[in-house]
Amino acid sequence: MTRGGRRKGLFSPESVERVRNAADIVSVIGRHVDLKKAGNGLKGLCPFHHEKTPSFFVSRERQTWHCFGCGAGGDVFSFLMGLLGMSFPDVLEELAAETGIELEAPRAGDARSDGLRDLLAEARRFFEEQLAGSGGSAAREYLAGRDLGSDTIRALGVGWAPDGNLLTKHLRGRGYSDSQVEESGLAIRSREDPGRVYDRFRARIVFPISDRRGRVVSFGGRILPGARADAPAATAPQTPGPQPAAPGGAPGPPLP
Ligand SMILES: [Zn+2]
């Protein structure tokens, strides 16, 4: 195991989710950034780059933050990781202690599939955050042009996979190894350089494919019209961990 993957595996995805829900992002960030009301959310001076006019926004509703100045963004975990240089397990344990949530170990024998399911759920959140951020503007325009409103987009879990290897990088920060990201189908190992993996979905709209229980098992992707079409496969292989989508399982959204 690398990069804390083993430690992370000690926590069930459910307890990670409980901590995320219990920790109010506004009060956590509010300890480090002076936040003022702005529209539906709050804004302040970004702690990740130098600025004199606030371009750092926090959404209580979505429990996310985003800086339109430097493009950084994420959830309460990534905020503290980025600001304080803490590892994901350390942030998780600290917030769990603060919110009184007990971190449970995954059920015996289920750690591997739980870990994968958790990875896929984290990828969905990452893609959604990217769509909401400054890098997702072209995708948002495209979706608006297809009459997909923000409520629908949220309900379907539509997101944006940025160019580069940002998802793999993000998941590394969450304690996942490159092999785990590869196993999830979200990264591909380089043939020329087997030590490297790269994001399967780059510069495309992505949507989660769920099983009957509503758990993400894979992602589908589509390129924006007019964009270069040299990116790899449009659908990630389904992961071996969670149950694959059975016939009748919820397919991806009816994107045109
Ligand atoms: Zn910033």
Of 164, 189, 162, give the one whose Cα is nearest residue 178: 189
Predicted pLDDT at 239:
55
Residue 191's pLDDT band (cuts 50, 70, 90): confident
For 202, the token pair is: 């780059």
Domain edges within the chain: 5-99, 111-223
Predicted pLDDT at 238:
61
Question: How close is the Cα of 79 to the center of ligand 1, in Å?
Answer: 11
Question: How close is the Cα of 53 to the center of ligand 1, in Å?
Answer: 11
The pLDDT tens digits of the residues spanning 26-39 come to 999 999 999 999 98
Domains 5-99 and 111-223 share a fold: no
Alpha-carbon gap, residue 108 to 103, rounded angstroms: 15
Cβ(18)–Cβ(12) under 8 Å? no
What's the mean pLDDT in 89-111?
81
Question: How close is the Cα of 29 to the center of ligand 1, in Å?
Answer: 14
For 158, the token pair is: 């539509």
Starting at the edge strand that comes first in sequence, how are the strands of the sheet with 216-223 ordered?
159-161, 204-210, 216-223
Alpha-carbon gap, residue 179 to 196, rounded angstroms: 10
Question: How close is the Cα of 78 to the center of ligand 1, in Å?
Answer: 14
| CATH node for 5-99 | 3.90.580.10
Residue 233's pLDDT band (cuts 50, 70, 90): very low
The pLDDT tens digits of the residues spanning 39-92 come to 889 999 999 999 999 999 999 988 889 998 888 888 899 899 889 988 888 899
Whether 127 shows a pLDDT value over 90: the answer reads: yes
Homologous superfamily (CATH) of 111-223 is DNA primase, catalytic core, N-terminal domain (3.90.980.10)
